[in-house]
Amino acid sequence: MAVDVRIPTVGESITTGTIAKWHQANGATVQQGDTLLTLETDKVSNDLEAESAGVLQILVDEGEEVDIGAVVATIDPVTAGDASAPSNEVEKPAAVPAPSQEPAGSEDNVSVSPTVRKFAQDQGVDLTKVEGTGRKGFITKADVEVALNLAKKGEGTRELTGFKKPVIEPKGSESRFTRKKMSPLRRKIATHLVNAQQSAAILTTFNECDMTAVMGMRKSLQEAFKVKYGIKLGFMSFFIKAVVEALKSVPSVNGRIDGDDMILNHYYDIGVAVGTERGLIVPVLRDCDQKNFAEIEQGIIDYANKAREGKIEFSDLQGGVFTISNGGVYGSMLSTPILNPPQSGILGMHTIQQRPVALNGEVVIRPMMYLALSYDHRIVDGKEAVTFLVRLKECIEEPTRLLVEV
């Protein structure tokens, strides 16, 4: 009896996902524990493994969005003595029988996933007139797209067999733009940012800091740091420790609004924005006030590796009290970062530039960085925001303060 391959629950509040990649071909023989597919959700990516050995029959194409719990494939068990057991080579798809000349009937009786059914409805395709090439005539998204391609023969407005409504394709549109469905993560980011703008009174204040002392300390200690800890000393650990000191000095920035209540946090879990191929994620470094520089740097490296491999977990992204975003690595000179709700503050770091500054009555060239603090004005006053940045600036320009916490 065939075993269904279902999309598992991957996290609270996650109801759908997209099949980012099939790691096995349709008709391939798989073993228990083999990776079948990568599921991409609006928060994390997960690999789904085969629960039994057998022949894989894929029902849902790569790139389609599916509901949690949906059946996306089946595995037909193969016994050891079954001489007809297929190899790992891809089977040629069976010939699709000619469509019946009888009335197609209701779309409710068509074998198709809810996602493909909605796609067909949005495009005006009559599923009863589409030939399914999937298992037992299952209609895939590719089958619907084949029907849609028929509309591209000719110009202007056409009424084609299999369509409930006219399909309008401007002449030459294929060469002028590309339409691509947003990934779940990108849709989540878009929704999150719009909600942040609409639900908080966001204001940004700026300052700048002289990076001479930090750069000098980093250079002088780099070799010893690498020998002792096996990793490099970066700038981010300095800024995370400086943010902790600034949060201690201005507790309101380490707070949030919950209904009519104001909640002040007494812990320092700092989120660090990380850019990935899928989009921006913000993993959280826990208890940064209790970590040393090496532990912070190692934590950043671990998250970067997990993000690159698509192994970030839902729990890695929860519970931060403040966020740091370093646009300077991409060359950004100045920006106004958007809050990461329900947090009340986010720090924007920017590129380091050699600029002329006045020092002791003289103009000198120093490595300078602009800092931007976006905050929720409902809970943080302007004076507190400025005080926060001034304290941060002090800790960066005199990093020895971080050692004695003054």
Single out the catalytic residue among 34, 47, 269, 381. 381
Q: Which domains does the chain have, with CATH numbers?
A: 3-76 (2.40.50.100), 107-181 (4.10.320.10), 185-404 (3.30.559.10)
Active-site annotation holds for 381: yes
Single out the catalytic residue among 47, 76, 269, 377. 377
pLDDT of residue 151: 52
pTM comes to: 0.64
C-beta atoms surrounding 179 within 10 Å:
6
Residue 326 pLDDT greater than 90, yes or no: yes
pLDDT of residue 101: 42
Residue 158 pLDDT greater than 60, yes or no: no
Residue 403 pLDDT greater than 90, yes or no: no
Residue 110 pLDDT grade (very low, low, confident, very high; cuts 50, 70, 90): low
Residue 106 pLDDT grade (very low, low, confident, very high; cuts 50, 70, 90): low
- Strand ranges of the sheet holding 29-30, from the earlier edge strand across to the other edge: 3-6, 71-76, 54-58, 29-30
Residue pair 130/111 in contact (Cβ under 8 Å)? The answer is no
pLDDT of residue 150: 67
Decide which of 10 and 320 is more confident: 320
Report the C-alpha gap between 336 and 338 in whole angstroms.
7
Closest CA to 115 of 47, 19, 186: 19
Burial track 229-248 (b if 16+ CB lie within 10 A, e otherwise): eeeebbbbbbbbbbbbbbbe
Give me the phi and psi of 254, to 5 degrees please.
-95, 35
Mean pLDDT over the full length of the chain = 82
Active-site annotation holds for 266: no
Q: Which two tokens stand for residue 336?
A: 């106004």
Residue pair 330/352 in contact (Cβ under 8 Å)? The answer is no
Residue 134 pLDDT greater than 70, yes or no: no
Residue 285 pLDDT grade (very low, low, confident, very high; cuts 50, 70, 90): very high
SS3 label, residue 212: helix
Residue 300 pLDDT greater than 50, yes or no: yes
